[in-house]
Structure 1
Amino acid sequence: MRNLAAKVRHKDRDGKQETRPMDQITRRGFLGAAATLPLAAPALAAFPDQPIRVIVPWNAGGLADVVMRAIAAAMAGPLGQPVIIENRPGANGAVGTQVVARSAPDGHTLILANAETHAINPLIYPRLAYNPATDFTPVTLFARGPFVLLTRPSFGVDNLQGFLAKARAEPGRITFASWGIGSTSHLAMESLIKQAGLQMLHVPFTGAAPASTALVAGQVDVMFLNAGPAEAVARDGKVRILGVGAAQRIPLLPETPTMAELGMPVSAGNWFGLLGPARLPMPVAERIAAVVAEVLNQPAVQAIFRAQAALPVSTKPEEMRAFIAEDRMGWANVVRDLNIQLE
């Protein structure tokens, strides 16, 4: 990873693209927060005075949607207002994300963000309708979701080495599914392909559910999938798990080795967090972050996280800002190698 002084693009007041150092943006972010301080006490005292809406920019039923709904239900008590989930899928998460970028900065509209919305999309969409560095106020990172490498039983391999051997013996014939071009599932597999020197055919789908359904049906050969849903399907014998794309073994699959343990150190997974529009008062962002950190300790929330193989984390707003900047730089090399540019 590069340091946080790397440059990022954004639009100036005339709509022209320009590049600024990350540390300059960070300084201006602090200045912007300081400018809101005279209003901080009234803003916090009144917040929230209506239901909070969280835009989930993917289909209902996926990992992001499930863990966000668990947190939203638990947040209602401490905040004194319901937290409503609204699914707005499309364009690798960009459709729903731009809705929040244009919302009032009062804390009542938030985006459930991940690597695709705030790290990868800026790299693959040259005319992205939002600037992830300047159009949002980070609130908190609350979960990581490791991926596992899956194959169908009829593919005829039982472990990672068997898969690699077969893929090398049949260059260009093995197919892999993802939930979209430029998605984390796509780029994770491309990282494996590059490291292992493979040639495979990409078959993108519109979401994780249809991609995994195609794998179970034998329409594709392999894919990276969130560990929780993958474990449930593997338990029924419909798929085989070949390895975990995390730094260490995960509680849901304690007997399954990591990709690194198997000699192929591919980091495959996603992160999830909340952001509000730009100019969200920092006391409001910190209040939401504190409530999320509190509800992550509730047994009901922890049970859902365990079932989904989601790993809880908790950050303050500025820690999340630095994390996203670093994650974007980490994905840049993969996107550049693949030369992905989408309209």
Structure 2
Amino acid sequence: MRKFILTLTVLGALSPFLTNAQSYPNQPIKLIIPFAAGGPSDALARGFTPKLSENLGQPIILENKPGAGANLAAEFVANSKADGYTLFLMMVGTQAINETLYKKLNYNVVKDFSPISLVASSSLMLVANPSVPVKSVAELIAFDKANPGKVSFGSSGAGTPLHLAGELFNTQAGTNILHVPYKGAAPALTDVLGGQIQTAIVGTPAALPYVKSGKLTGLGVTSLKRSSNAPEIPAISETLPKFEVELVYAIVAPANTPKAIVDKLNSQLVSVLNNPDIKSQLNSRGFDVVTSTPNQLGEYIKSEVAKWAPIVRKSGITAE
């Protein structure tokens, strides 16, 4: 009898969660985007959320919360109610880097979120001004070693994935290409076009028109394999094995979101992302669809924190 009463007590305690999960969603869902409207994250979200909203039967409201290197949005979601109505479009590399880059964070990227699924990836491209006498990654490495201190690369800012992609390149190639930080990828692209800097690491979609027009030399993409958006450009890994840096996006919820809600979101999200029309639309915007189970995403986030920690420490940069 005591066991029976205990079972009823446990079921009674769980019943609100079970009911909520079964009726989910019954109100609009907010998707928090950590960057300003009009950027790549915004374009990605607008590419798949209308169909996801249709499938879930509730509006999905996009809310941009830029600031503090994406930490403002991350902290907001981490502290939100774990009911499935506040989600986070996470750029995994950025949040993984921030774990080491910032001396103090009010959240932990591994512990304070419930992973739902990977969403998409987008490669970066290492480009050079045509005045630099190199046509490949191997030639750039040789040129830098023959001209120490004369080659620079621009990025979107200190501590960003674009900056640390360059630091990873230096580490693996044994080069010492000097970093020039900019306030965004656009001014870095402008200066490499103008010859103020020799090379830059920028998003593949942004670089591609200039490479195709001959205004820049595309040396390599940072994805492990050639990008479907630029198959004619070699992967840097063809010269530096295992070199890989991608802008990887995922959907997460606050920690302790009920498993039934996580599973429902995962199922619906994966279904939407694998829709041929959605895939084609996202591909035209420079994204490759990538999906996962919640557990796979959780392990990937852990691996990214471990990957970037030594690179951040070696770079010597910190942020408050």
2:58 to 68, 72, 81: 81
Q: Please give the alpha-carbon distance, in whole angstroms, between the structure 2 residues aligned to 1:35 and 1:88.
A: 38
Q: Any idea what SS the aligned residue of 1:223 has?
A: strand
Residue among 283, 297, 302 paired with 1:325: 302
Q: 1:280 to 1:117 in 2, by over 3 A?
A: farther
RMSD, matched Cα: 2.3
Aligned-pair CA distance for 1:136: 1.4
Q: Does 1:215 align with 2:199?
A: no
**Which residue pairs with 2:6 in the alignment?**
none
Q: Which position in structure 2 is the counterpart of 1:54?
A: 31
Question: What's the CA shift string for 1:44-69, capped at 9, x where partnerless?
Answer: 23322222211111233333322222
2:141 to 164, 176, 183: 164
* Cα contact 1:229–1:308 (8 A) shared by 2: no
Partner of 1:21: none
- What one-letter code is carried by the residue in structure 2 that aligns with 1:288? L
When the two structures are aligned, how many residues end up with a matched partner? 310
Q: Distance in 2 between matches of 1:316 and 1:35?
A: 30
Aligned equivalents of 2:196, 2:37: Cα separation in 1: 23
Query: CA 1:290 to 1:51, structure 2 compared with 1: closer, same or farther past 3 Å?
Result: same
Q: Select 1:153's aligned residue among 130, 150, 174.
A: 130
| CA positional deviation for 1:78 | 0.3
Q: Deviations over 1:246-289 (max 9, x none)?
A: 22222222222221223565212121101111221121121111
What is the aligned counterpart of 1:39 among 16, 20, 23? 16
Q: Does 1:294 align with 2:271?
A: yes
User: Does residue 170 of structure 2 align to residue 182 of structure 1?
Assistant: no
In the alignment, which residue of structure 1 is the partner of 2:45?
68
Going from structure 1 to structure 2, the CA distance change for 1:73 and 1:235 (only over 3 Å counts) comes to farther
1:187–1:298 CA distance, 2 compared to 1 (3 A): same
Which deviates the most, 156-165 or 86-95? 156-165
In the TM superposition, 1:189-200 aligns within 5 A as: 189-200=166-177
2:281 to 277, 288, 304: 304
Q: Which runs of 5+ in 2 are unaligned?
A: 1-10
Deviation at 1:338, TM superposition (A): 2.0
| Cα deviations by residue, 1:216-269 (Å, 9 ceiling, x for unpaired) | 343332222232232233233332210122222222222222212235652121
Equivalence for 1:126: 103
Distance of aligned partners of 1:35 and 1:164 in 2 relative to their CA distance in 1, 3 Å threshold: farther
- 1:256 equivalent to 2:233? Answer yes
Of stretches 227-236 and 269-278 in structure 1, the one that deviates more from structure 2 is 227-236
CA distance in structure 1 between the aligned counterparts of 2:261 and 2:111, rounded to whole angstroms? 18
Equivalent position of 1:28 in the other structure:
none
Deviation per residue, 1:8-43 (Å, 9 max, x gap) = xxxxxxxxxxxxxxxxxxxxxxxxxx9995433311
Supply the distance in 2 between the matched residues of 1:37 and 1:322 (Cα, whole angstroms).
Answer: 28
**In the alignment, does 2:183 pair up with 1:234?**
no
TM, length-normalised to structure 2: 0.88
SS at match of 2:236: coil
Residues in 2 aligned to 1:101 and 1:44: alpha-carbon distance in whole angstroms: 20
**C-alpha deviation, 1:189, in angstroms:** 0.5
Aligned with 1:260: secondary structure? helix
Greater radius of gyration (CA): 2
Counterpart Cα distance in 2 of 1:37 and 1:151: 59
Once the 2 structures are TM-superposed, how far is the Cα of residue 148 of structure 1 from its aligned partner? 1.8
Is 1:142 aligned to 2:119, yes or no? Answer: yes
Whether the 8 Å CA contact 2:120–2:288 is kept in 1: the answer is yes
CA contact (8 A) 2:173 2:240 kept: no
Matched with 1:4 is none
Which residue number corresponds to residue 270 of structure 1?
247
Q: TM-score, normalised by structure 1?
A: 0.82
Map residues 77-116 of structure 1 onto 2, 5 A cutoff: 77-116=54-93
**Is 1:173 aligned to 2:187, yes or no?**
no
Deviates more, 1:272-281 or 1:87-96: 87-96
Residue 257 of structure 2 aligns to a residue whose secondary structure is coil
CA distance change for structure 1 residues 331 and 84 in 2, over 3 Å: closer, same or farther? same
